[in-house]
Structure 1
Amino acid sequence: MLSPEKRACWQALQRQAITLTPQEKVQGGDMPGDTVRITAPVCRRVEKLLPHLAAKLEEKYGEYIPAKLVIAISGGSGSGKTSGAVALREALAQVGLTGYVLSGDNYPRRVPEHNDEERLAIFRSVGLKALLAAGAYTPERFAALQSLQKAGTDSDPQQCEAYPWLHIYQQGGRAALAGYLGQVAEQDYDALNEVLAQFRAGVPTLWLKRMGRKEWERWYEPKDVADVDVLLLEWTHAGSADLKNADLKVFFNSTPEETRACRVARSRDAGADSPFVTMVLEIEQALLNRRACDADLIQNSDGTMIDTAACAAAQGR
């Protein structure tokens, strides 16, 4: 459990107002070469989050806050998870608590290049099966579909106006993707759960997975966490029920439009505004919205909080 000194640090977080300063090119999470920009809106967002975070910890643990705490921050790609986690790390440092930002993007089963290929293969192969099962497949339609696939527009809903049968293909492919995105077939939850469990148990050194964008860019690095008080996991899927060993789960709410704009602005992926990526983000956002009410705290980009009970009620849960 906490030492008296560390307990005083958490109490300070509850009592005093924290003011954060915008910063350029701050060390982000542990993705290779990851730096972030902490803007004024991000600072204000985290400042508003802090009292709710402290209150939720007090509600959950009282005086018995764990000495090694895991806070999981989830949200859509581009929702501000990384910059928010880094700003939270800076805020914790102001009261004497040491944080480390861990990126869940190091724990998919496939490197991004191959995962993108797998997503597209699932969409297209199951879409074709859906056409066949509906009795809507013909050689002529396949020829048209192949042209759309080569152009990268077979996932574009607007194409259904010219090809009404394409809706069957898209619907089948979307359903298959919904069963893959963020699920155990795509993400290695077991490996990440083990890392979190080791941290909470007080293991002084964690061997953390690193992943680049190519198949040969997989490795492990030791991280000394003996003096780390809070492990801040930032990850799209940190709100999944398959993720264990998180003490608090925070969901950063965002719209698909905000997500897509952020992805395009930072140019992380080629074709960030393509029809297929747009579709993936829509499916992913629907999944995240269903998971949101399972979080301990839900926050909008402007810093306002969403009541988790109201969120659950809106979903009929």
Structure 2
Amino acid sequence: MNKDYNKISPKAAISAEMVKTLAQKEIQIPSDIPHGDMPGDKIEIGESHIAKAKTVFPKLLEELSKVTTSNPYGRAVITVCGGSGVGKSEIASLLSYMLEQSGIGSYTMSGDNYPHRIPMYNDAERLHTFRQSGIRGMVDGGAMNAENYKIVKNYQELNDDANADHVKEYPWFASYLDAGKKGLDAYLGTPNETDFDEVDSILAAFKDGADKLWLKRMGRDESTLWYDEVDMTDKQVLIIEWTHGNTDFMKEVDIPVLLNSTPQETLEHRRSRARDGKVDSPFTMMVLELEQNKLMAQAHKAKIIVSKQGEIISYDDYKKLMGL
């Protein structure tokens, strides 16, 4: 889709001298700044986000200096990744704004525009994958019979079939739960769920000097799915905010930035934001756990790791924090 494009004129790389100068520059952040391109996405930037972005920015400039020197068009691709509620959209928007204010053109795109299915259908596919795998697991584990199926079906109707507490009463239920979780893991954050090839082709075109890119927009229903042609003439940096920004299924990312949150911190955040006092369903918690496991497995590739408290930490410190 992005193969037929004109190329920009080569841009100057971000030099070490520029890094030194820009790192000392005080950038004022207004209350309303541009944000990513996910339709209907709402972000609320707070003081903690601003503080975190300002901590990351000097280190990011250093990494950009290395990358833009080796790209003939002086370009680089950054991803801001992390789990639920860690502030990916806010931090990506802030970093993009700070780059723009420093004279380095930047655009923020959302990876959430690139699943194969719109959110409603993708959520349904996740649940279907878990349940289909779980039922098959009961067969393979010798637990399938009319009585057990009736119990599972009842839990499914209650949306409680991902609840591990049921194993205490029904030990055979582990065959359903374990197989369902394994099947779901093989779907989440993989090419089965997301078109990583399309994203990687966009990144490759950007780094190859494309002056324009066709970027996907995905809303909540089938009538809000389209493409915009976006002018990249003055852009040196493309930022992707996305849980899966550090995945092994993409090869064109230069600087992964991991915003870390421990499982406990993620849980506390979601509880604090729960509406009407409702906590997440067992299935949602399973999805979050599997996504967290993938983030941990990919963390060694991150160029910058930021703790929930806003400190830049080493990979060794990250492993200790996460109990690895």
- Same-fold call, TM > 0.5? yes
Residue 199, structure 1, aligned to residue 203, structure 2:
no
Matched residue type, 1:3: A
Query: How far apart are residue 257 of structure 1 and its match?
Result: 4.2
Q: Secondary structure at the match of 1:34?
A: coil
Q: Secondary structure at the match of 1:207?
A: strand
Residue 229, structure 1, aligned to residue 216, structure 2:
no
Partner of 1:290: 297
Matches within 5 A, 1:93-242: 93-242=100-249
Query: How far apart are residue 278 of structure 1 and its match?
Result: 0.9
Separation of aligned partners in 2, 1:107 and 1:13: 37
Gaps of 5+ in 1: none
Q: Residues 113, 37 of structure 1: CA spacing in aligned structure 2 closer, same or farther, 3 A cutoff?
A: same
Separation of aligned partners in 2, 1:208 and 1:284: 25
Separation of aligned partners in 2, 1:313 and 1:243: 27
Partner of 1:23: 31
Matched residue type, 2:12: S
Q: Secondary structure at the match of 1:35?
A: coil
Query: How far apart are residue 88 of structure 1 and its match?
Result: 0.6
Separation of aligned partners in 2, 1:189 and 1:63: 24
Query: How far apart are residue 54 of structure 1 and its match?
Result: 2.5
Moved more, 59-68 or 199-208: 59-68
Separation of aligned partners in 2, 1:55 and 1:234: 20
1:180-217 CA-to-partner distances (Å, cap 9, x unmatched) read 11011111011011111111112111110111122333
Matched residue type, 1:47: K
Query: How far apart are residue 276 of structure 1 and its match?
Result: 0.6
Partner of 2:19: 11
Residue 299, structure 1, aligned to residue 293, structure 2:
no
Separation of aligned partners in 2, 1:90 and 1:128: 49
Identity of matched residues, %: 36
Checking the alignment, whether the CA contact within 8 Å between 1:38 and 1:83 is kept in structure 2 is: yes
Q: Secondary structure at the match of 2:165?
A: helix
Separation of aligned partners in 2, 1:135 and 1:311: 41
Q: Residues 212, 64 of structure 1: CA spacing in aligned structure 2 closer, same or farther, 3 A cutoff?
A: closer
Separation of aligned partners in 1, 2:270 and 2:72: 36
Q: Residues 251, 197 of structure 1: CA spacing in aligned structure 2 closer, same or farther, 3 A cutoff?
A: same
Moved more, 113-122 or 11-20: 11-20
Query: How far apart are residue 129 of structure 1 and its match?
Result: 1.1
Checking the alignment, whether the CA contact within 8 Å between 1:32 and 1:212 is kept in structure 2 is: yes
Q: TM-score, normalised by structure 1?
A: 0.88
Checking the alignment, whether the CA contact within 8 Å between 1:123 and 1:177 is kept in structure 2 is: yes
Aligned residues: 313
Q: Secondary structure at the match of 2:154?
A: helix
Q: Secondary structure at the match of 2:184?
A: helix
Query: How far apart are residue 35 of structure 1 and its match?
Result: 3.5
Matches within 5 A, 1:73-92: 73-92=80-99
Residue 54, structure 1, aligned to residue 61, structure 2:
yes
Query: How far apart are residue 21 of structure 1 and its match?
Result: 3.5
Partner of 2:3: none
1:199-257 CA-to-partner distances (Å, cap 9, x unmatched) read 11121111101111223332111111111121111111010111121221111111234
Separation of aligned partners in 2, 1:229 and 1:92: 9
Moved more, 14-23 or 241-250: 14-23
Query: How far apart are residue 2 of structure 1 and its match?
Result: 3.5
1:289-314 CA-to-partner distances (Å, cap 9, x unmatched) read 11111111111121212213565799
Moved more, 57-66 or 119-128: 57-66
Moved more, 306-315 or 196-205: 306-315
Q: Secondary structure at the match of 1:213?
A: coil
Moved more, 28-37 or 99-108: 28-37
Moved more, 123-132 or 7-16: 7-16
Q: TM-score, normalised by structure 2?
A: 0.86
Checking the alignment, whether the CA contact within 8 Å between 1:10 and 1:95 is kept in structure 2 is: no
1:30-74 CA-to-partner distances (Å, cap 9, x unmatched) read 001333222110111111112222233445566879522211111
Query: How far apart are residue 133 of structure 1 and its match?
Result: 1.0
Checking the alignment, whether the CA contact within 8 Å between 1:13 and 1:51 is kept in structure 2 is: no
